[in-house]
Amino acid sequence: MLDLLELNLKKAAQIIAEAKHLAAFTGAGISVESGIPSYRGQGGIWTKYNPQVLDINFFQENPEESWKHIRNVFYDYFAKAQPNAAHQILAKWEQEGRLKSIVTQNIDNLHHAAGNVNVIEFHGNSQVMTCTKCAEKYPAKQVNLDKIPPKCPKCNGLLKPDFIFFGEGIPKDAFEQSDFESNNADVFLVIGTTGEVYPAAEIPKNAARNGAKIIEINPEDSAFTRNFTTVHLKGKAGEILTRLDEILQTIVKE
Ligand code: APR
């Protein structure tokens, strides 16, 4: 007797094989197997740091304090992280023409690093910094973080990473592109997210309201599971996506 996960994997693979417009919505959980902690749950970033370090008003009033934690979490940690099997399978599926887009909440750049091109970064990314005074942009790799807060070489203004802080709006183009995906995808993979942060969490919900099937990959339940998820594959993203890809190879061959 096939176990429940195996049955769900076959069901999910069939749905993916028949998808006309497959999109993915990813959260911190997809990067856990790359060594980057998630935000919530056991060992999560928000269990060690106060989220106010990413509050835009706190940042502007306490740049040095905020930057100390930002460097620690988003640059020291992230810099060493490499894409894991989950990122690599999504890149393979884009190259095969199977996956049309990824809407990611993540700012770790691992989808780009794995080779995905159509990546909508809903919360911006950590690879670029912008001067809060003259708006000049700098690749994060060229900014010396030994001295914090980092200042603009041109006008000595305060530099800020290009990812979205609490209290900031979502980048307009990311918002519009994500809206297109939630109106056009007939299948949405929802990978490694609690679905607790808005407006990002609206994306899979809108897709489901538009009739899309939701395939959720997460060892735990999330805010999507009960009312929006069609098939819940309970497991780690790297393992589940590797298994799905194996099954899809057999379906294509039949
Ligand atoms: N594979 C898949 N999912 C996993 C794995 C794994 N190996 N490990 C953990 N998870 C799941 C957890 O069960 C949890 O549901 O990943 C999810 C991580 O949830 P969060 O830490 O809340 O991350 P996320 O949903 O991306 O947070 C959204 O919150 O703080 C803000 O801007 C930040 O983008 C972030 C947003």
Percentage of the chain modeled with pLDDT above 90:
90
Instruction: In the chain, count H helices and then E strands.
Output: 11, 9
> In this predicted structure, which of 3-12, 48-57, 155-164, 191-200 has the lowest mean pLDDT?
48-57
For residue 159, give the nearest of 191, 128, 116 by alpha carbon.
128
Residue ranges of domains in the chain:
1-36+83-123+169-254, 39-80+124-163
Asked if residue 86 has pLDDT above 90, the reply is: yes
- Tell how far the Cα of 45 is from the centroid of ligand 1, in angstroms: 10
- Tell how far the Cα of 134 is from the centroid of ligand 1, in angstroms: 34
Whether the CB of 107 sits within 6 Å of ligand 1: no
Whether the CB of 40 sits within 6 Å of ligand 1: yes
Instruction: Judge whether 111 counts as a catalytic residue.
Output: no
1-36+83-123+169-254: CATH number: 3.40.50.1220
Q: Which residues contact 164 (CB under 8 A, 6 or more apart)?
A: 122, 123, 124, 170, 171
Asked if residue 254 has pLDDT above 60, the reply is: no
Asked if residue 252 has pLDDT above 70, the reply is: no
Q: What is the pLDDT of residue 76?
A: 85
Q: What is the pLDDT of residue 41?
A: 85
Q: What is the mean pLDDT of the chain?
A: 95
- Tell how far the Cα of 122 is from the centroid of ligand 1, in angstroms: 14
Rounded-to-integer distance, Cα 198 and Cα 102, Å = 17
Whether the CB of 235 sits within 6 Å of ligand 1: no
Asked if residue 57 has pLDDT above 90, the reply is: yes
Local confidence band at 43 (pLDDT 50, 70, 90 cut-offs): confident
39-80+124-163 folds as SIR2/SIRT2 'Small Domain' (3.30.1600)
Q: What is the pLDDT of residue 79?
A: 80
Local confidence band at 253 (pLDDT 50, 70, 90 cut-offs): low
Tokens of 254: 């039949």
Q: What is the pLDDT of residue 197?
A: 94
Whether the CB of 94 sits within 6 Å of ligand 1: no
Q: How many beta carbons lie within 10 A of that of residue 131, not counting itself?
A: 20
The domains spanning 1-36+83-123+169-254 and 39-80+124-163 adopt the same CATH topology: no
Catalytic residue among 87, 111, 112, 123: 123
**pLDDT tens digit sequence for 94-108:** 999 999 999 999 999
